[in-house]
Chain A
Amino acid sequence: MKDSAIQKITEDLLPQKFGKQGKIWVAFLLVLCLVGFIAYCRQLSKGLVVTAMRDYVSWGIYISNFVFFVAISLVGSLITAVLRLTNAEWSTPLTRIAEIIAVSAITFASLIIIVDMGRPDRFYNLFIHGRLQSPIIWDVIVITTYFFISLLLLYFPLLPDLQILLRYKDKTSKGLYKMYSLLGSFWKNTPEQVKINSRAVNILSITIIPVAFSIHTVTSWLFATTYRPGWDSTNFGAYFISGAFLVGAGAVIVAMYVFRTHYDLEKYITDSHFDKMGKILVLLALLYLYFNVNEFLVPAFKMKKSEEDHLMGLFTGEFAAVFWFAICTAMIIPILILVNKKGRRPLPAFIAGLLVVVGSWFKRYLIVTPTLLHPFLPMHDVPESYKHYFPSWEEWAIAIGSLAGAMLIVTIFARIFPIIPIHETITETEQHEKE
């Protein structure tokens, strides 16, 4: 392969400074984060009373947002690990996008769970008084593990790229250069280093799969280990995992499209990538639909008294609009778009991905809240406001702020590091040319 070709790939993929659009986008996200932060300060001083949560709906959009973040972070394991281990080489340009989404989502999952705590000042109690029998402790353990494995899966493949970045000293600022050398100056690309690195990535790719399954299965158990109608289900682990892969894959398609159009990466994130990701998304949407049918049709067939109010509330009652919106946007419409070859072109695939992400957010809301409004004993002897739930502005601000924060991490990461692996792209192009 010619040096000029390598030069071209490298220059195409080097991180670029924010343009006007980029700056506006970052400022916009920062404002959302700031509003969320102000809302959280209010919550810290006044207590959780600033939310609309009360004794019956004791978990609200903080928890559904947490489930959403954990779900979306699973895509890191799908793209980097599952596709890597099955030798799906086409996925190489997408690995870093998937992994940074995973890292930022799991970070904000941890933050939002602290936001939900009544006594965040006692967070350390989880470590000094933690009891292994509580699913929350299982979640703390697996999420921490997943965070570190994801971070390493982001970092190790980045090492050869850091060496390239260090070579282009004139194209980076002083501060960034320092950071690159701190992170990767020890990397000399020696055969031994390459061997160790590829072994490490392989081991991590294998370990992350059970850990990824654990984080979302355990998250589903936070609900399934209780008696409540709508949560008391043996289907929950698989239901959550399939939904998680779906929303994560949707998020990757959205990110692919944004990076491709914004950084002119048409040569690297090709139409064929959208085609293949579109097919994966259809498969995942069908899988999730299957679990939804199980989750709702079976109890609806029996209509046990305890389940009836809950189910009817979803099908035709107060949550019907959100319920059918979520089913249609997260599954039915994306399936209809993406089963056609034309639907798997970048723009329609992007729209389908966006629908999946939005629908999935509301789906998580429906998993958490309606159940809590249908306790075993009727709602009684409480103030009237305890019998309903609509998130307060503080809750919206914090939830939206956390989503903005996760996107901010992805945006800033793409500003600092090559969002498409340079080294791997070059080696793969070389291999193709040899063949």
Chain B
Amino acid sequence: METTDNSRRAFIATSLLAGLALAGCSTKKNPFEPDTLDEVKPSGEMVKLLSVDGKVIEVDKAFLKPVPDLPAIPNDVARKGIAGKKFVMVIDLSRCKSLKKCQAACNHMHHIHPGQNWIKVYPMQDAEHTAPYWEPTTCMHCDEPPCVKVCPVDATFKRQDGIVLIDSDRCIGCRFCMAACPYSSRVFNWEDPGVPEDIAKQSYSCETSVPQKKGTVGKCDFCPDMARKGELPHCVSACPNGVFAFGDMLEDTVTNGSETFRFSDLIRDKAGYRLMEDLGTKPSVYYLPPVNRNFPFENHEEKEEGKHS
């Protein structure tokens, strides 16, 4: 729950400063004198604040006014992305045993509607006599994104750091992007996504994709809010087997948290590839083939499905 804590802290800090600023705007000589119009009585409980000029001051709690919550990163900055970065992910299929910790962490942190998933873990078998394997998929953050091409209102966009995001405050819910995406990575909020009330109240941020909104499209966002903090996407840190490695192609480095690789070496040595290369979408997600596996392929889902049917 690191993000929520942080954002709450940020929220409180901005509220306090804005409260002071508001008080400063009033015509009274002493901004800390109780406002007769507000009829606020000092509660006697004092809080310490850092003033604009860097001094620690004490203010009665009753004089603080809440301000509308603002996302930490403004929309126009979130749309541009982080300069000098090109984010990539490498998914090592030889390490995946479909624990789905990635999925659970992603669903939890983005407050996704129950039953829907941004990360899917497919049991794959390419042909009758070839070996089965688990294939986790995220949004591919394509360099030629078909979804961005078809969006009529620029609600889904490609940033300079390679990340494809959605502005849920602008999306009109036409679902053309879902038809256009060959990787089925987009999900739609057919009903209210059931986000906890305190989070639903926050204003939407493209970088956290929170809170999801009814009638709009959602998908994996590569957690750019974490990247800004120098941390890894939630799926990467949640995976105990180090399946996901995330990093910057320009630095030529990817890491799964415990191991760090030179991206170009990793792709060359392990024959990395991308999904549906023939479509020309140029994904930012690379896969390492399921050779020398850490685990045998055991599909418990299939057995369970078999029981039900």
Residue positions of A touching B, CB distance < 8 A: 46-49, 51, 53-56, 58-59, 116-119, 122-123, 125-126, 129-131, 133-137, 140, 222-223, 225-228, 372, 375-383
Contact = CB atoms under 8 A, between A and B. Distances in A.
Contacts of A382: 115-117
15 contacts: A48-B190, A55-B116, A58-B179, A118-B171, A118-B174, A119-B173, A125-B153, A126-B153, A133-B149, A225-B180, A226-B150, A228-B179, A381-B120, A382-B116, A383-B115
A299 B275 CA distance: 23
Contact of B120 (A118, A131, A140, A380): A380
A390 B149 CA distance: 30
A420 to B, nearest CB: 40
B151 interface: yes
Find the residue from A118, A125, A130, A378 having the highest chain B CB count within 10 A: A118
Find the residue from B174, B192, B276 having the highest chain A CB count within 10 A: B174
A386 to B, nearest CB: 8
Interface of B: 103, 115-117, 120-123, 137, 146, 149-155, 170-176, 178-180, 182-184, 186-192, 214-217, 276, 279
Given A54-B190, A376-B182, A134 B176 contact: yes
Contacts of B151: 131, 134
B183 to A, nearest CB: 6
A226 B146 contact: yes
Given A47-B215, A118-B215, A226-B146, A53 B190 contact: yes
B154 A131 contact: yes
Contact of B176 (A49, A129, A222): A222
B103 to A, nearest CB: 7
Nearest to B115: A383
Find the residue from B170, B172, B175, B186 having the highest chain A CB count within 10 A: B172
Nearest to A376: B182
A222 B180 CA distance: 9
Contacts of A381: 103, 117, 120-122
A125 B146 contact: no
Contacts of B186: 55
B190 A49 contact: yes
B215 A119 contact: yes
Given A49-B190, A377-B122, A380-B120, A125 B170 contact: yes
Contacts of B154: 129, 131
B191 A47 contact: yes
A376 B276 contact: yes
Which 8 interchain pairs have the tightest Cβ spacing? A118-B173, A118-B215, A49-B191, A136-B152, A381-B120, A134-B152, A49-B190, A129-B153
Contacts of B184: 55-56, 375-377, 379
B116 A119 contact: no
A118 B216 contact: yes
B170 A227 contact: no
B223 to A, nearest CB: 19
A381 B185 CA distance: 11
B182 A126 contact: no
Contacts of A118: 171-175, 188-189, 214-217
Given A55-B178, A118-B189, A126-B152, 17 more contacts: A47-B191, A48-B191, A55-B116, A56-B184, A117-B174, A118-B217, A119-B215, A129-B154, A130-B153, A131-B151, A133-B149, A134-B176, A135-B150, A225-B180, A226-B146, A227-B279, A381-B120
Contacts of B155: 125, 129
Contacts of B178: 55, 58
Nearest to A137: B152
B196 to A, nearest CB: 18
A272 B154 CA distance: 53
B279 to A, nearest CB: 6
Contact of B215 (A48, A375, A378): A48
